[in-house]
Amino acid sequence: MPTNAVNLTEKEYLLPGNRVCPGCALSLAYRHILKALEGQVIVTVPASCLTVLHGMYPVTSVSVPCVNTPFASTGASATGLVAGLKALGRENLPVLASAGDGGTHDIGIQALSGATERQGNFIYICYDNEGYMNTGNQRSGSTPLGAISGTTPILGKQQNPKDMTAIMEAHGIPYVAAANAAYPLDLYDKVRKARGIKGTRFMHVFTPCPPGWRFPFSDTIRIGELAVQTGWNILYEVENGDFRLTSASESIALKGHLRPVRDFLMEQGRFKNLTEAQIEELQERVNARWQHCLDRAAKQ
């Protein structure tokens, strides 16, 4: 049975008080990730907003052990933790590697790809705020076309992002999922499922960032929901090759239609300089991706 607000565990592993911004979707997502793992996990994290959330030694806001690793080596760090646990006869303790989009799509991709190709037994969660946010919003391989960032200040980024979830699926791993912090129960259920599977499990979690995307701190959930309602972000999972839409994306596919992507874009200051041609290009990209997902879902 899917988790709901009544049967969700009340136990917390992310403790009150940390240094992320108000309205940070990463904080909400991470809270549910740790709940799903019941706090029984060793985490490895490179430099990012997640290290800020964890806190600086000897102060921490989480009740799980964490290894801070250099930027490029999160996949290698996860491999080492798995090997160490095996040597201690503690293979059953899950290893979670988690990094931002900069640490995953760009700087950590080779170590992650290598660790995945070796079929390392860990969960990797990329939280995606579509930029290098901890250092003031530089453009990353996940920043969308037209988005203003610290390194694309006027015209916005001139390229489309790479589809990291598809790249990870191409490694032939047993579980891949796309989730969104605005749908925490869907996220929670996906982490629970990932926990029960052996091998490399990859999850992409969409995490709106109020200061980086330039929307009010109070609108995080609404922006996350708009992303799904417009098809900008699609909720799905691929288990041993079987593709399935989940949660709100599944409902839209069954009995609804997508809202125009403009509804999502116009709420955010980072898109204020988009041209009409770019909005059209973004809409076409969303349409094509949504159709691809509908076709895959129909084949199952």
Ligand X SMILES: Cc1ncc(C[n+]2csc(CCOP(=O)(O)OP(=O)(O)O)c2C)c(N)n1
Q: Of 146-154, 209-217, 221-229, 244-252, which segment contacts ligand SF4 by CB under 6 A? A: 209-217
**Measured between alpha carbons, how far is 247 from 206 in angstroms, rounded to an integer?**
14
- For residue 30, the minimal CB distance to ligand X (Å) is 11
111 to 140: interface string for ligand SF4, x by CB under 6 A: ------------------x---xx------
55 binds ligand SF4 (CB under 6 A): no
Among 26, 62, 109, 147, binds ligand SF4 (CB under 6 A): 26
Among 14, 24, 235, 293, binds ligand SF4 (CB under 6 A): 24
Q: Identify residues 156-195 at the interface with ligand SF4 (CB under 6 A).
A: none
**Measured between alpha carbons, how far is 33 from 188 in angstroms, rounded to an integer?**
6
How big is the CA angle at 47 (ends 193 and 73), to the nearest 5 degrees? 70
207 contact partners, CB below 8 Å, separation of at least 6: 24, 25, 26, 29, 127, 128, 129, 181
Place of tokens 């041993």: 240
**Measured between alpha carbons, how far is 298 from 109 in angstroms, rounded to an integer?**
31
Q: Identify residues 132-191 at the interface with ligand X (CB under 6 A).
A: 132-135, 140
Q: Identify residues 103-132 at the interface with ligand X (CB under 6 A).
A: 103, 129, 132
20 binds ligand SF4 (CB under 6 A): yes
CA 118 to chain centre: 22
Q: Identify residues 77-96 at the interface with ligand SF4 (CB under 6 A).
A: none
77 binds ligand X (CB under 6 A): no
224 to 243: interface string for ligand SF4, x by CB under 6 A: --------------------
Among 103, 210, 224, 231, binds ligand SF4 (CB under 6 A): 210
**Measured between alpha carbons, how far is 121 from 53 in angstroms, rounded to an integer?**
25
Q: Binding partner of residue 24 among ligand SF4, ligand X, none, CB under 5 to 8 Å per kind?
A: ligand SF4
Amino acid letter, 141: G
Taking CB atoms within 8 Å and a gap of at least 24, the contacts of 81-90 are 81/42, 81/44, 81/122, 82/120, 82/121, 82/122, 85/42
Residues that bind ligand X (CB under 6 A): 47-50, 71, 99-103, 129, 132-135, 140
